[in-house]
Amino acid sequence: MFKRWEHFDEWVSKHQKSIDRVNAKILEALQQYGPLNIKAVAESIGLPDTTVRFRIRKMIGQRLLLITAHLNFAKLGLARGFMIAEAPIGRHELVLEVIKQTDYWNYLARCYGKFDGYIAYFAFPAEHIKCLEEYLEEAANLKIFSKYLFFWITNTYLPYVSFEWYDFEKKQWNFYWDRWINEITNASNEIPRIIREPEKYEILADKIDLLILKELEKNAMRDFMKLAKILGISHQTVHYRWHNHIVKRNLITQYSTAFKPYPFIITDFYLFIIDFTNQDSLAKFCNASLKKPFIISYAKIIGKNSLIVAIQIPKLEFSNLINALNNLHKKNLVENFVYVNIDLLSHERQTISYEFFENKKWNYNHEEKMQWLRKVANTNSKSKHASDVENF
């Protein structure tokens, strides 16, 4: 992030120059063929492999692109959870510590607005889902959270990067809100496969598979030779596991190109919970939003006609987004929505919690976690009381 505003125009100009027709084609092809098949990517757009690799490395080097694997958690025996927790004033660090103590979180960030606290995503052992619910409820009872929302969710869907709304001549994005509303109205009512509620949770991977997957979560551009070196196993083992376990068992749902369409300095990030009037409306929203440049991801709340939607949007377009959602309410598609602003500079991400996987199962000591929670709450309460007395 720039500390000196005089760099603003320079940084925006640099970002705009990175979006050209060739890079756009590469990004779109990457999502179709995957980062481990650069030859197919190059052939599909009629460019040499070397040119494609050079441009990808350049975008990564400029921090405009990060390619990662997103896992099929249900096939790893993990249930996905999402929460927003509000912290009592002055106790944000404690809330962060309590979330991390669950071990099985995979993303968290500071949030502001309706909730002043943190958002967090979990990939939690499915056989212990009640334990996480009890842990979070106890944190609220102990006043560690002022209030919180928690939902079990499906796998996350990552809409494809698309440049349909980008003007390459003027080097700018155009936002066609009325067109998007019409597309939602007329879209298919079939829910995308990735966000369908899991029929079951099963463990279709072993420890070696998990080690490979966690490296691809960090960087999906790593080839078999690099993976073998990092993990200390043979190239042949990685090759076999990739084809016969990871691909055959569908352990990866998608690859994220995590491309930044707008300069960070003019962009806001939000997390929306959108309630739809019925399942058809939810599906229509999903299918009409597959290639929209402002939607980062979405996941369905299990048992509800609701989505968790991550959004990145230029600051000047936010009011238009809110107006569009209100128009969808008028059309009886959206029932309600709530959102928080996300501070991306605070975000933390960790890979799948492979270190807790032993003997073909995920380990979690619920009683130990609950004891720790009560102890830290008690310690914090005594500390606060002593401070209040001293100030008095």
Question: Is residue 82 domain-shared with residue 175, that is, in the same domain?
Answer: yes
Terminal Cα-to-Cα distance of the chain (whole angstroms): 41
To 10 degrees, the CA torsion angle through 79, 82, 88, 90? 90
The reported pLDDT for the residue numbered 383 is: 57
pTM recorded for the entire structure: 0.89
* Integer Cα distance of 209 and 224 in angstroms: 13
- DSSP letters of 166-235? EETTTTEE---HHHHHHHHHHS--PPPGGGSPPS---B---HHHHHHHHHHHH-TT--HHHHHHHHTS-H
In a domain, 61, yes or no: yes
Query: In the prediction, which pLDDT does 221 show?
Result: 84
Same domain, 84 and 54: no
Residue 385: inside a domain: no
Say whether both 46 and 80 belong to one domain. Answer: no
Q: Are residues 300 and 161 in the same domain?
A: yes
pLDDT tens digits for range 20-50: 889 888 988 888 888 878 899 999 999 999 9
Same domain, 72 and 215: no
Ranges of the chain whose pLDDT falls below 50:
1-9, 11, 385-392
* Residue 30 belongs to a domain: yes
Predicted confidence at residue 392, as pLDDT, reads 42
162 with 259, same domain: the answer is yes
The total domain count for the chain is 3
Q: What is the pLDDT of residue 391?
A: 46
- pLDDT at site 7: 46
Looking at residue 388, its pLDDT comes to 47
The pLDDT, as a whole number, for residue 233 is 94
With 0-12 / 13-18 / 19 or more C-beta atoms within 10 angstroms meaning exposed / middle / buried, residue 46 is exposed
CATH at 338? 3.30.70
- How far are the Cα atoms of 27, 161, 218, 361 from residue 259, in angstroms, in the given order? 8, 7, 15, 35
Does residue 344 fall inside a structural domain? yes
Q: Kind of pairing, strands 357-358 and 334-349?
A: unpaired
pLDDT of residue 160: 79
Domain ends where: 197, 218, 248?
Answer: 248
Looking at the structure, do residues 134 and 144 belong to the same domain, yes or no? Answer: yes
Domain boundary among 215, 248, 281: 248
Residues 313 and 344 in one domain: yes
Is residue 191 assigned to a domain? yes
Q: Which domain holds residue 94?
A: 67-205+249-364
The predicted-structure confidence for 140-159, as pLDDT tens digits, reads as follows: 999 999 999 999 999 999 88
Task: Indicate whether 230 and 321 sit together in one domain.
Answer: no
